[in-house]
Amino acid sequence: MSFDPRSTPVDPAATAALARHGLEYRLLDPADLEAMHAWIEAENRGFHHGRPRDVDRAHDLSVASERRVHGVYDPTAVDPHVPVATVDGWPTGLSVPGGRSVDAWAVSAVTVSPTHRRRGIARALMEGELANARNTGAALAMLTVTEATIYGRYGYAPAAKAATVTVDRRRVHWVGPDAPGRVQFVTAAALREAAPAIARRAVSRTPGEIDRWPGILDRALGLVDADGDAARSIRTVRYDDEHGQPQGFVAYRITREPNQPGFLEFDFLVAATDDAERALWRFLIEQDFVSGVRGRLRSIDEPLPWLLEDPRAVTLSDLADHLWVRVLDPVEALGARRYGAAGVLELDVADSLGHARGRFRLTVDDRGRAEVERVEATDAAASGQSLALGVQELGAIYLGGVRPSLLGRAARITERRPGSLVLADRMFAAERSPHLSIWF
């Protein structure tokens, strides 16, 4: 969707909250290069990254200029032009069960300087982003997190997990089918032409994936600084199907000591078909003079163990929540996805911030299509299946990665009528485990 980062005014509540602490909340103009460069410096500092080089700063500027960028400033600081807190956000599509997409608001670059803790900055930033999301008509907000105890306060909940997959090359014996297409080396520049279309198809296959922006492809393929050491270590291959159509790619690197087997690592494997996924995995794990393969931010339900004679050659580690979701408009959000079973379910949603509060009737037909309506408590069918839950619990079950009955066992969802949780489990089931394979 087209998006003007400055199309809506700065949230007055966040402005007032920060002003009470002597701080200024500003929406940056992408044309103000001095302010944008200072913001980029602060964002890198907040994530403990090194000071950016000119080539990295130029890339970060191109990405940030397409987003809504906010900074918090302390006029009494030694350098008042450098923000003491940062955040950015932008509208994007989130893939949901059924191969569909919902309008969402992505929140990123959340940092607060350690010199300015306990002044209400994080709360102002997060509530300000929820206001931005509502102003753009997003059905939900989402983020990836490094801290798991912060964002639940604002209604977010973990909705998709990720893991690191490691393969012991010495135990690999492929027993899966041969792919009908072919894997071939391509240059990163050539792959960049086909990558956006492949990525769009791949994203639509899996709940929890989000639309890719151009900058992330440039970074993954090593095109931001093509002559840098990190980029020169990247190798890129593409899978073409039996008709010659590009259906997948991977960017990987091999690290090793002199005269020793290497270790292959990748962060970016994109597959628009099952054939492409299998072919790329086989290419990676059958490398010679390699002792192991490691892929980060992979699905917790990888098919790889079922393609090898020894499934114990594959191990999962660093299993953690990754994508956090915050529902803002239950009618739009619930109506966007497909469901696993027909039924009628009342959802009584609590939300301390008020965005998603209310009672909603979810009616799903035999094809998994939903109709959602807001109803008054007095309109609820006395004999109907019904659950009471918070907005966090709604976000957790939304993509199908958490069963409602599990949250019932944890006393996080209340069953108003026997059988409601069983029905909810069937309805919210997804055909694929939700998964997000990138940071944002």
**What's residue 383's pLDDT?**
60
Query: What are the E-state strand segments in 12-144?
Result: 24-27, 68-73, 85-96, 100-112, 140-144
Q: How far apart are the first and last CA of the chain?
A: 18
Q: What is the pLDDT of residues 406-425, one digit of tens each?
A: 999 999 999 999 999 999 99
In a domain, 438, yes or no: no
Where in the sequence is the domain holding 395, given as residue range(s)?
A: 330-428
Q: Is the dihedral of CA 393, 394, 396, 402 positive or negative?
A: positive
Q: What is the pLDDT of residues 206-230, one digit of tens each?
A: 999 999 999 999 999 999 999 999 9
Q: Is 123 annotated as a binding residue?
A: yes
For residue 1, pLDDT over 60 is answered with no
Mean pLDDT of 18-28: 98
Q: Are residues 116 and 131 in the same domain?
A: yes
Collapse the DSSP code of 33 into the 3-class scheme (helix H, G, I; strand E, B; otherwise coil) and give the result: helix
Q: Provide the mean pLDDT of the chain.
A: 96
Q: Is 428 a catalytic residue?
A: no
Q: Are residues 169 and 314 in the same domain?
A: yes
**What's residue 378's pLDDT?**
64
Q: What is the pLDDT of residues 385-412, one digit of tens each?
A: 999 999 999 999 999 999 999 999 999 9
Provide the pLDDT confidence category of residue 147 given band limits of 50, 70 and 90.
confident
Alpha carbons 418 and 254: distance in angstroms, whole number = 55
Q: Is 26 annotated as a binding residue?
A: no
**What's residue 380's pLDDT?**
53
Q: Are residues 396 and 291 in the same domain?
A: no
Q: Are residues 318 and 382 in the same domain?
A: no
Last residue of a domain, one of 290, 323, 356: 323
**What's residue 3's pLDDT?**
83
Instruction: Report the side by side order of strands in the sheet with 358-364.
Output: 370-375, 358-364, 343-350, 385-390, 413-415
Mean pLDDT of 349-354: 98
* Given the residues 151, 156, 249, 252, the one annotated as active site: 151
- Number of domains the chain contains: 3
In a domain, 394, yes or no: yes
In a domain, 75, yes or no: yes
Q: Are residues 249 and 335 in the same domain?
A: no
| pTM, two decimal places | 0.96
Q: Is 111 annotated as a binding residue?
A: yes
For residue 384, pLDDT over 80 is answered with yes
Q: Are residues 168 and 285 in the same domain?
A: yes
In a domain, 151, yes or no: no
Q: What is the pLDDT of residues 254-276, one digit of tens each?
A: 999 999 999 999 999 999 999 99
Q: Is 151 a catalytic residue?
A: yes
* Given the residues 3, 239, 263, 440, the one annotated as active site: 440
Taking residue 134's Cβ as centre, other Cβ atoms within 10 Å add up to 17
Residue 24 near residue 14, CB atoms below 8 Å: no
Alpha carbons 140 and 382: distance in angstroms, whole number = 30
Q: Is 147 annotated as a binding residue?
A: yes
**What's residue 382's pLDDT?**
52
For residue 170, pLDDT over 70 is answered with yes
Q: Is 122 annotated as a binding residue?
A: yes
Q: Is 121 annotated as a binding residue?
A: yes
**What's residue 6's pLDDT?**
85
CATH for 41? 3.40.630.30
Q: Is 76 annotated as a binding residue?
A: no
In a domain, 361, yes or no: yes
Mean pLDDT of 424-439: 98
Last residue of a domain, one of 323, 341, 356: 323
Mean pLDDT of 288-304: 97
Last residue of a domain, one of 293, 323, 353: 323
Q: What is the pLDDT of residues 323-351, one digit of tens each?
A: 999 999 999 999 999 999 999 999 999 99
Mean pLDDT of 50-64: 97
Mean pLDDT of 1-12: 85
